[in-house]
């Protein structure tokens, strides 16, 4: 822990929802200079949120700021809702991008571009570092963990762009919403599940993501999984080049993820709202 704590600007923001307290909360420490990884991890565990971010001066001259992203138990090289929430907080706190119309975030996964999309921010999905079908033994474990018949799984694919996550496609949004997973059977698997809504439902897909062993067993809204799922589903012709996914429904949230393919990039966006402002002693 830092032996000489001092007050640091701190925000808590809600990401991927137009109304406060209906999305995925994120803790943001705006000035993390001098903090070591152990202190960051301890504080992230204390916040009891899915992720906490720490903003630092960039090392890459092309970047506007650098971010470190922690769950309650580990550091992620990249994650989606922390990217949008950190960019929202940096801009709201007076940050001025070096280039017009685009914020460049530096993280352990590299540089991530974030653009304004009307009243939303959207990040360019980073490349997958692991993809492809899962092994048959993993597919059987997925079925057991989700408590579905193996035949109910339309497809399953590695979708790694930071978290080691597997994507599971079911036939319908109704099946996704009805899941009552066996978290013990998941072992160390991090699973994202997606299924299409019927036309006219207000969203095109329903998403749920499960994080066994973490502070939150189910993540309210997950940008990194939605980014990987978009690359997978668009690449296999299962999703159009523009769609909206809903997530967090069973948790009483109203997450909305806006996805579009433009100019060779897949952009993943949503609204962010600041809920808490103040200082934290670190």
Task: Give tens-digit pLDDT for 197-221.
Answer: 999 999 999 999 998 766 568 999 9
pLDDT < 70 positions in the chain: 1, 213-216
DSSP state of 99: B
The predicted pLDDT at position 213 comes to 67
Q: Tell me phi and psi for residue 251, to 5 degrees.
A: -95, 5
One domain for residues 46 and 84: yes
The predicted pLDDT at position 95 comes to 96
The predicted pLDDT at position 3 comes to 75
The predicted pLDDT at position 117 comes to 81
One domain for residues 145 and 204: yes
One domain for residues 111 and 95: yes
41 in a structural domain: yes
The predicted pLDDT at position 185 comes to 94
One domain for residues 39 and 11: yes
Tally the domains of the chain.
2
One domain for residues 274 and 257: no
Active-site residues: which are they?
Answer: 51
SS3 content of the chain, % helix, strand, coil (to 5): 25, 40, 40
One domain for residues 183 and 256: yes
Determine the Cα–Cα distance for residues 154 and 169; give it in Å rounded to an integer.
5
- Which SS3 state, helix, strand or coil, does residue 224 take? helix
Q: pTM for this one? A: 0.94
The predicted pLDDT at position 42 comes to 97
One domain for residues 165 and 241: yes
Domain that holds residue 104: 7-125+269-281
């Amino acid at each position: 822990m830092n032996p000489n704590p001092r007050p640091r600007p701190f925000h808590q923001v809600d990401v991927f929802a137009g109304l406060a307290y209906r999305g995925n909360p994120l803790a943001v420490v705006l000035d993390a200079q001098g903090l070591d990884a152990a202190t960051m991890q301890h504080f992230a565990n204390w916040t009891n949120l899915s992720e906490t971010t720490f903003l630092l001066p960039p090392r890459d001259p092309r970047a506007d700021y650098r971010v470190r992203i922690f769950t309650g138990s580990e550091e992620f090289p990249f994650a989606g809702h922390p990217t949008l929430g950190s960019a929202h907080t940096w801009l709201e706190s007076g940050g001025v991008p070096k280039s017009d119309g685009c914020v460049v975030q530096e993280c352990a996964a590299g540089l991530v571009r974030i653009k304004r999309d009307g009243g939303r921010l959207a990040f360019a999905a980073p490349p997958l570092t692991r993809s492809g079908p899962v092994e048959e033994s993993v597919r059987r474990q997925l079925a057991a963990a989700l408590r579905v018949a193996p035949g109910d799984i339309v497809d399953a694919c590695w979708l790694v762009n930071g978290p080691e996550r597997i994507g599971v496609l079911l036939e319908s949004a109704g099946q996704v919403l009805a899941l009552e997973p066996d978290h013990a059977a998941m072992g160390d698997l991090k699973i994202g599940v997606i299924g299409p809504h019927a036309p006219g439902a207000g969203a095109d897909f329903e998403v749920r993501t499960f994080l066994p062993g973490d502070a939150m067993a189910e993540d309210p809204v997950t940008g990194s999984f939605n980014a990987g799922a978009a690359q997978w589903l668009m690449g296999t012709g299962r999703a159009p080049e523009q769609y909206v996914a809903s997530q967090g429904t069973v948790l009483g949230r109203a997450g909305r993820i806006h996805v579009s393919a433009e100019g060779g990039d897949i952009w993943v966006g949503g609204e962010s709202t600041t809920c808490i402002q103040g200082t934290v002693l670190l």
